[in-house]
Amino acid sequence: MVSPAVSPVTAIEDSSAAVGDALMALIARLYPLPRSLTGRGVRETLAILGELIPLTLSEVPSGSPVYDWEVPKEWTIRDAYIKDASGRRIVDYREHNIHVVGYSVPVRATLDLEDLRPHLHTLPDRPDWIPYRTTYWKETWGFCLSHRTLESLKPGSYEVVVDSSLTDGALTYAECVLPGATTDEVLLFTHTCHPSLCNDNCSGMALATLVAQALAQRPRRYTYRFVFAPGTIGSLTWLSRNEDTVSRVRHGLVLTGFGDPGPFTYKRSRRGDAPIDHIVEYLLERTDGPKANIVDFSPYGYDERQFCSPGFNLPMGRLSRTPYGCYPQYHTSADTLSFISKEQLEGAYALLMRILEVVDADRKLVNTCPKGEPRLGKRGLFRSTGGTGVSNREEAMLWLLNQSDGERSLLDIAKRSGLDFTLIKSSADSLMDCGLLVDPA
């Protein structure tokens, strides 16, 4: 008997142009804000997200120990510029907030061009773009500018001002917790520290927010926890304050970079064979569009490396489109609204919602009538006229009854049978309704 072709997961099934428009509109609001590890831009960002989903904010004081790290001082930037001899601002923070190296210390000086050059960062191979650079853990300063601007500078003196401060303050992160029927959790993390960069990571914050908004309207088996925090120090800080609850995490994803033109990329958890790995890979194989990239875990990247550190080893992968550093616009002024598209965002929303649907539905069931094949006809589950083969739904029920021994999950059965997970899940519901399958949990 030949199994029917597996039906693909498509964006048209799970999303709409309205979702893409909403994601683009939210990204447009987030884009101008001057985010960093700490400070006003992060709080303003979280205030916008809090208009759409319920958020609980945490403020962790500067100097607080976080494993081998500590929460940094809070950075405030008010203005920054470089003026030439005529008083013209040739580099101006007010024109683009990545003109200043993130966490630059305050400076007011007049410098010759040769003394200024070591503090200037450009992209010679992309002469019209501005790079994004930071100096979180060393107190220094710098400016980012187009290489074309740098080449136009003439010898002489330049007025340099960075009107900033590094003071004792706090690191701010936010959580949206959607309680489910169980306290077992699905953890979704997205970083909040990048300033005016649309793909990295306004797209991750926007996607997480709209998915949380949708999940809030649905029944949930798991408790879903969305964490919005700065990269590295934010995830470490969250972990340090939640050690007593991380054991409840059953599945997790780090979310970033969903608007660029590339195909999806999934990075496996440190475990490599966690249920979330199998679920995402199964769905990516059945998603329309360019072939997705599946990559093994490595200890470099985004915050998955913190959640998957050996002291936690959480079942968390990373979902994105093109990975960091693999597209020219990465960490540059070219990561704008024109670089991303609502169609790519729609596809990401559809995929993530589908992943979470499977996460919530997948479970291991037990056949209550395992000796021989139960008589489905008398329960109205099998047609009365034989000799014409079985329907997809009947085949799904036979697979479920044969494989539901408490060891194999619904996803395992879908993969082995070649039948679509949705069909397996709905058929399992019918078998549970008549008592032939039970959930031993």
Bridging pattern class, strands 265-267 and 316-320: antiparallel
CA 215 to chain centre: 16
In contact, 21 and 210? CB cutoff 8 Å = no
- The number of beta carbons lying within 10 Å of the beta carbon of residue 398 is 17
DSSP state of 153: P
Return the structure tokens found at 103: 């966490």
Separation CA 404–CA 399 (nearest Å): 8
Output the CA angle 278-283-288, nearest 5 degrees.
155
Please give the radius of gyration of the chain, using alpha carbons only, rounded to the nearest integer: 26
Contact yes or no for 439/362 (Cβ under 8 A): no
Residue with tokens 């979280």: 46
User: What residues form DSSP beta bridges with 102?
Assistant: 134
Q: Does 200 belong to an annotated binding site?
A: yes
Beta strands in 71-211 (DSSP E): 74-83, 89-92, 107-112, 120-121, 143-144, 157-167, 170-178, 185-191
In Å, what is the CA distance from 61 to each residue of 45, 169, 195, 421?
19, 6, 22, 46
Token pair of 99 as six digits = 């003109």
Within 8 A by CB and 6+ apart from 265, the residues are: 292, 293, 294, 295, 319, 320, 321, 322, 323
**Six-digit token string for 316:** 């968390």
Integer Cα distance of 329 and 322 in angstroms: 11
Task: Give the residue ranges of the annotated binding site for Zn(2+).
Answer: 194, 200, 331
Binding residues: 194, 200, 331
